């Protein structure tokens, strides 16, 4: 959840998110800013936050992938829960759609190549053959 202490908030502002909770906080702050000023474009800001988190050299792992996807989902759910109750006229669906698109783009750009690399290194969990058209690699 995005409820981090003041020192961590200052760290996020200074050096970016370093933990899943800080990542959720950073995403949530962008959502709140967009709610206050709808001219703020969500996609570029969300993308910057998640790719900055991913690009930390020592953290490129399946755990980091789950951190990012989990933070996007948790921020979305909490925003809908909190803001949806307060503002029935606010277009929640625009925000949830944007978050889903960014999550999908992250998956295609980062996760799929990462999974393919790990499949080559460790073997395919699906144990398919080249003639099985139902499963993509």
At residue 87, the pLDDT reads 60
Q: Is residue 129 part of a domain?
A: no
Q: What is the mean pLDDT of each run of 10 residues along the chain (137 residues)?
A: 82 89 93 90 95 83 94 92 68 87 96 93 78 58
State the DSSP code for 89: T
At residue 2, the pLDDT reads 67
Give dist(CA 103, CA 109) in Å, integer. Answer: 10
Q: Is residue 19 part of a domain?
A: yes
8 A C-beta contact, residue 116 and residue 137? yes
Q: How many CB atoms lie within 10 A of CB 52?
A: 14
Q: Is residue 132 part of a domain?
A: no
* pTM of the model as a whole: 0.84
Q: Is residue 131 part of a domain?
A: no
At residue 130, the pLDDT reads 57
Range of the domain at 69: 6-122
**Tally of structural domains, the chain:** 1
Q: Is residue 74 part of a domain?
A: yes
8 A C-beta contact, residue 83 and residue 35? yes
Closest alpha carbon to 15 in 47, 56, 46, 45: 56
Q: Is residue 24 part of a domain?
A: yes
Q: Is residue 130 part of a domain?
A: no
Residues contacting 12, CB < 8 A, separation 6+: 4, 18, 22, 25, 26
Give the angle 129-135-137 at the CA atoms, nearest 5°.
80
Query: How confident is the model over 16-53, as pLDDT tens digits?
Result: 899 999 999 999 999 999 988 989 999 999 999 999 99
């Amino acid at each position: 959840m995005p409820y981090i202490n003041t020192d961590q908030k200052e760290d996020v502002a200074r050096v970016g998110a370093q933990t899943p909770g800080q990542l959720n906080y950073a995403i949530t702050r962008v959502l709140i800013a967009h709610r206050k000023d709808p001219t703020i474009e969500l996609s570029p800001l969300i993308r910057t936050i998640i790719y900055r988190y991913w690009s930390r050299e020592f953290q490129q792992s399946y755990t980091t992938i789950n951190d990012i996807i989990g933070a996007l989902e948790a921020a979305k759910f909490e925003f809908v829960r909190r803001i949806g109750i307060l503002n029935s006229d606010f277009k929640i669906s625009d925000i949830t759609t944007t978050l889903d698109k960014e999550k999908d783009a992250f998956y295609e750009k980062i996760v799929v190549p990462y999974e393919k690399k790990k499949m080559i290194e460790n073997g395919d969990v699906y144990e398919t053959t080249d003639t099985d058209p139902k499963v993509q690699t």
